[in-house]
């Protein structure tokens, strides 16, 4: 009798697991329909009751367990005053950028940075030029800026300029020259431009400069372009921002 009871428990548990997996498959397929050629990442059961969530095409989407209902956009928990969508996206940005080591960044940092942000940049972007023109001011405030290349299609040739910077013997000097409108010798080499671009797409980068803070949050462009206002924003972020790859903001092209 005990053996039969134990067998029933195992069968029931297996049935529950398979049923849950089936529900998850339907929800994943619904989210996948947003961008059939892209991969659903960070897929999990959502805090939104009865829904699963996943990141695709740079956004968080929610699907009911049976795959019938699909939600896109912001979902908020009013009881906790928490933006669930942004919390999930911040975690995605943070995890993705954690795998972007110094070998895939061009860093401008003071000796002992207090804060560090990651900025997706285009050497032909006017706002990127404006940002970098004050790099010494940011560094003087203890802010390190790690650049990741994200050349935009509206700037023909920006990808080749980015590769030239990357292949230069002195990337910092080459970047400063290129972003100021100067010429950099067009050398080619093995480079991470494709992975940089893919990372930007996955976390929703659409314009430059886009900056991300240590907690994965995006930094508003009006704050990013002011060293003092950026510093004030970074001070609001909990944790030791200086020791981790930082996050993101968006300014215009």
CATH label of the domain that carries residue 147: 3.40.30.10
Neighbouring C-beta atoms of residue 140, cutoff 10 Å:
11
Instruction: Count structural domains, the chain.
Output: 2
Question: Residue 58: phi, psi to the nearest 5?
Answer: 75, 20
What integer pLDDT is reported at residue 22 of this predicted model? 57
Whole-angstrom distance, CA of residue 39 vs CA of residue 41 = 6
pTM over 0.85: no
Residue 203 located in a structural domain: yes
Residue 94 located in a structural domain: no
Q: Whole domain around residue 53: which residue ranges? A: 2-73
Whole-angstrom distance, CA of residue 45 vs CA of residue 47 = 7
Same-domain status, 121 and 233: yes
Whole-angstrom distance, CA of residue 203 vs CA of residue 91 = 10
Q: Could you report the per-residue pLDDT of 175-221, keeping only the tens digit for each?
A: 999 999 999 998 889 999 999 998 998 898 989 999 999 999 999 99
Last residue of a domain, one of 23, 55, 73: 73
Residue 84 located in a structural domain: no
What integer pLDDT is reported at residue 190 of this predicted model? 93
Same-domain status, 241 and 121: yes
Q: What is the CA radius of gyration of the chain?
A: 22
Residue ranges, the chain, pLDDT below 50: 2-4, 6-21, 240-253
Residue 85 located in a structural domain: no
């Amino acid at each position: 009798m005990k053996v039969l009871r134990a067998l029933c428990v195992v069968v029931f548990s297996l049935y529950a697991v398979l049923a849950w997996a089936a529900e998850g498959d339907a929800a994943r397929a619904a989210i996948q329909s947003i961008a059939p050629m892209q991969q659903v990442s960070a897929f999990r059961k959502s805090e939104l009751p009865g829904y699963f969530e996943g990141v695709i095409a740079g956004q968080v989407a929610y699907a009911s367990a049976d795959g019938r209902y699909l939600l896109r956009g912001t979902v908020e928990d009013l009881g906790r005053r928490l933006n669930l969508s942004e919390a999930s996206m911040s975690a995605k940005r943070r995890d993705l950028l954690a795998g972007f080591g110094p070998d895939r960044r061009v860093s401008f940092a003071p000796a002992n940075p207090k804060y560090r942000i990651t900025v997706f940049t285009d050497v032909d972007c006017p706002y990127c030029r404006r940002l970098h023109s004050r790099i010494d001011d940011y560094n003087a405030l203890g802010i390190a800026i790690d650049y990741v290349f994200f050349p935009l299609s509206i700037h023909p040739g920006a990808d080749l300029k980015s590769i030239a910077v990357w292949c230069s013997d002195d990337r910092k000097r080459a970047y400063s020259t290129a972003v100021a409108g100067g010429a950099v010798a067009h050398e080619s080499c093995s480079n991470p431009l494709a992975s940089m671009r893919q990372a930007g797409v996955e976390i929703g980068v659409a314009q430059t400069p886009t900056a991300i803070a240590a907690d994965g949050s995006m930094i508003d462009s009006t704050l990013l372009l002011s060293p003092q206002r950026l510093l004030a924003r970074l001070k609001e972020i909990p944790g030791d921002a200086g020791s981790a790859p930082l996050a993101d903001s968006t300014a215009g092209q």
